Amino acid sequence: MKVAVVGATGMVGEIMRSVLEERNFPITEFIPVASERSVGKKMIFDGKEYSVVGLQTAVEMKPDLALFSAGGDTSLEWAPKFAEVGTTVIDNSSAWRMHPNHKLIVPEINADSLTPNDKIIANPNCSTIQMVMALAPIHKKYGIQRVVVSTYQSITGTGVKAVQQLENEYQGVEGEKAYPHPIHRNALPHCDVFMDNGYTKEEMKLVNETHKILDPSIQVTATAVRIPVVGGHSESVNLTLNESPDLNDIRSILSETPGIVVQDDLENNEYPMPLTAANKNDVFVGRIRKDESQDKGINLWIVADNLRKGAATNTVQIAEVLHSKGWV
| DSSP output for 92-138 | -SSTTTT-TTS-B--HHHHGGG--TT--EEEPPPHHHHHHHHHHHHH
Active-site choice (102, 126, 139, 191): 126
Q: Are 87 and 327 in contact (CB under 8 A)?
A: no
Question: Is residue 259 left, alpha or beta, with left meaning phi > 0 and alpha meaning psi from -120 to 50?
Answer: left
Active-site choice (102, 139, 191, 233): 233
Answer yes or no: 126 catalytic.
yes
Who contacts 230 (Cβ-Cβ below 8 Å, separation ≥6)? 154, 155, 156, 163, 166, 274, 278
Assign 301 to helix, strand or coil: strand
Phi and psi at residue 276, to the nearest 5°: -95, -15
Sign of the CA dihedral running 180, 185, 186, 192: positive
Residues written for the chain? 328
Angstrom distance (rounded) from CA 53 to CA 42: 10
Question: Is residue 211 left, alpha or beta, with left meaning phi > 0 and alpha meaning psi from -120 to 50?
Answer: alpha
Query: Residue 217's CB: how many other CB atoms inside 10 A?
Result: 9
Name the residues annotated as catalytic: 126, 233
